[in-house]
Amino acid sequence: MRVVVQKYGGSSVADTDRIKNVANRIAKKVQEGYKVVSVISAMGKTTDQLINLAKSLSQRPDERELDMLLVTGEQVSCALVAITLKDIGINAISLNAFQAKILTTKHHTNARIMDISVSHLREYLKEYDVIVVTGFQGVTEDGHFTTLGRGGSDTSAVALAAKLKCDCEIYSDVVGVYSCDPRLYPNAKKWDYITYDDMLELAATGAKVLHSRSVEIAKKYNVKIYCASSFSQEEGTWVVDRLPEWLEEPVVTGVSLDRNQMKVSIMDLPNEATVIADIFKRVADKGINVDMISLVKNGSSTHVSFTVVPDGVGKIEELLNETLSVYGAKYHFYGQFAKITVVGTGMRSSYGVASKLLEVLQSEQVEPELITTSEIKISVLVPEDKAEMLVKKICEAFEL
């Protein structure tokens, strides 16, 4: 039995004509001799509309009830795709997370997949040529629906491919993986192949092609991912463990932009490691994602800065008010920043990337608020109104 997982994003199923196009693409794969597990996102901007609807009734909707609301988006699109497939003669069935037995943690709105019943899915594949599965959602051990956070349909698809030991094809409105978002830099290169490491860093720092958690799973279980557009036949990009031997590895693979960042600074903390550990443990327990952590010691005190997206500010503020009074420290929020990240596994064996990046910033008279580095990436926090211009200049400097 040849199996493939195909994921179609919200733009690919935004209306009935696009749903018919997706059904025809799935049918073509069946005609090639495959059994298809198709993961479908909610139609167009449905998820955003549902969130806005909930927030029109409550400033902070209960997360369990919000998940109960949001899972309806994928159920609508999956049922419509299955209806269309059956209408053109394809033996298909749609399944939600409960029916597909996608077990997750209990972290509502940001759950993680714990297990998927592969034997259950294979039984369905014996009877049907196509299983249309709701992306973005799971179910807890005690039967409550959860969602996996933004980009969760990518995670659903790669997790299914990992369990079924097959390739995963991700279709969206983008033809493949570029060195930079073509809407920011029209001359960006499109890669035929990119490594998990490069893709993971790009995804984690703002590139919209794949969600970072999906790439983590792909790397762990060696799932080959093919990224392409559902609107064209142009060749896409393969995300793989290592580049083919005949390809020269670039020093810099890509530049990503993550907008809408807020900087949080905590001043006058006691100069003790246990204090810092305690604060970030509390942050983790609240399920808040922080980034670009900087720590500066100043005599007997420590100053810590980090970035957070605005959605997390309410939780962070509540946590800091509870925690910092114990230590006699103060905090401050600074807004209107963007994070630019330069990524490349080739940086492991090359030098000069940081100096060239900082030269670009200096030439545009921009001083970064924060800088963080790893073996294969450098991130800078810059004023949001300068970010797009800087991305273009950086792409030109690195010939991307």
- Which residue has tokens 């997750």? 104
CB neighbours (10 Å) of residue 278?
14
CB neighbours (10 Å) of residue 366?
19
Q: Is residue 140 part of an annotated ligand binding site?
A: no
d(CA 77, CA 352) in angstroms, rounded, equals: 48
Q: Please work out, in degrees rounded to the nearest 5, the angle formed at the alpha carbon of residue 44 by the alpha carbons of 41 and 45.
A: 105
Burial label, 354 (beta-carbon count in 10 A; 0-12, 13-18, 19+): middle
Q: Is residue 216 part of an annotated ligand binding site?
A: no
CA dihedral (265, 263, 390, 385) positive or negative: negative
Q: Is residue 183 part of an annotated ligand binding site?
A: yes
Q: Is residue 7 part of an annotated ligand binding site?
A: yes
d(CA 2, CA 282) in angstroms, rounded, equals: 46
Strand order in the sheet with 237-240: 92-95, 130-134, 35-40, 3-8, 168-172, 225-229, 237-240, 193-195
Q: Is residue 138 part of an annotated ligand binding site?
A: no
Q: Is residue 299 part of an annotated ligand binding site?
A: no
CA dihedral (292, 261, 226, 176) positive or negative: negative
Feature table: binding site for substrate: 47, 74
Feature table: binding site: 7-10, 47, 74, 178, 183, 208-209
Feature table: binding site for ATP: 7-10, 178, 183, 208-209
